[in-house]
A and B are shown apart, each in its own frame.
Chain A
Amino acid sequence: MTGNFTDLLKRLVKAEFDFVIVGGFAGVAYGCTYLTQDIDICCDFSPANLMRLQKATAGLHPVHRMTPSRQKLELTEENCSQFKNLYLDTDIGQLDCLGFISGIGDYRSAKKVSRIIDVEGIKLRILNLDALIESKKAMNRPRDQQVISQLEAIKKMKKKKDCRKR
């Protein structure tokens, strides 16, 4: 199943769910050349916000994809506090909701080092390029080495491009 990430993100924005795009998909938005099959977001894990997530994904059959039985997403004001991360699969794509980003911190910290991008008329909050590089370095996973290399090259290219504009 191929995700339709733009539709998924539109739903989140429409439901006024507070999140910042992080991880591989953020790299794609900056110009990295790999394919990613999920969207990683850092979000506010308050019950009110998680209920908005549930509203946004209603009808998409969201399930906890890391659980053996792929349990349905059934959030209540009471059970919200038990989650630190949510790894979801929906009819239109995988969505990883993270409460904490290595090298950055929680949602509030991620929001401080984010910027807004416009995608098909919707405003999306995404980690800025420096913060994205920082988070990838902090994770220190072998598979992130190529991503870091691409992001650092993109950063240099953007800098050159900006200098030429001036």
Chain B
Amino acid sequence: MKTMSGKKSGKQSKTADPIQAAIDYGIDISMLKDNVKRTPAELIRRHQIALETAEKLRKAKGL
């Protein structure tokens, strides 16, 4: 799995609030907020597009 947040992560949060804990961890909460509004079908479709884009970039870079 690859993170799409682009932020450094890994710090354990001591807060009991899961949203604050995710922020402390370095997760981009705005992306999660947008995703919560989406249907599973839309989320899977968007994941497929992102996966195909990542693959195209990988091929273009010759990685």
* Inter-chain contact A157/B36, CB cutoff 8 Å: yes
Q: How far is the CA of A96 from the CA of B54 in the complex (A)?
A: 21
Name the B residues within 8 Å of A161 (CB-CB).
36-37
Complex partner residue of A34 from B2, B10, B22, CB under 8 angstroms: B2
**Within 8 Å of chain B (Cβ to Cβ): is A154?**
yes
Name the A residues within 8 Å of B9 (CB-CB).
146
Chain B, interface size: which category?
A: 35 or more
* Inter-chain contact A153/B5, CB cutoff 8 Å: no
Name the A residues within 8 Å of B48 (CB-CB).
4-6
* Inter-chain contact B32/A150, CB cutoff 8 Å: yes
* Inter-chain contact A28/B43, CB cutoff 8 Å: yes
Name the A residues within 8 Å of B2 (CB-CB).
34-35
Residues of chain B having any CB pair with chain A under 8 Å: 1-5, 9-10, 13, 17-19, 21-22, 25, 27-29, 31-33, 35-38, 40-41, 43-45, 47-48, 50-52, 54-55
Say yes or no: A2-B21 contact (C-beta < 8 A), given A31-B43, A146-B9.
Answer: no
How many chain-A residues does the 8 Å CB contact rule pick out?
A: 36
Q: How far is the CA of A131 from the CA of B52 in the complex (A)?
A: 29
Complex partner residue of B32 from A118, A120, A154, CB under 8 angstroms: A154
Number of A-B contacts (CB under 8 A): 102
Residues of chain A having any CB pair with chain B under 8 Å: 1-6, 24, 28-37, 117-120, 126, 143, 145-147, 149-150, 152-158, 161
Q: How far is the CA of A147 from the CA of B18 in the complex (A)?
A: 12
Q: How far is the CA of A37 from the CA of B36 in the complex (A)?
A: 22
* Inter-chain contact B41/A35, CB cutoff 8 Å: no
Name the B residues within 8 Å of A3 (CB-CB).
51
* Inter-chain contact B17/A34, CB cutoff 8 Å: no
Q: How far is the CA of A152 from the CA of B18 in the complex (A)?
A: 6
Q: How far is the CA of A37 from the CA of B55 in the complex (A)?
A: 10
* Inter-chain contact A30/B4, CB cutoff 8 Å: no
Which has the most chain B C-beta neighbours within 10 Å: A35, A117, A118, A154?
A35
Say how far A136's CB is from chain B's closest CB, in angstroms. Answer: 12
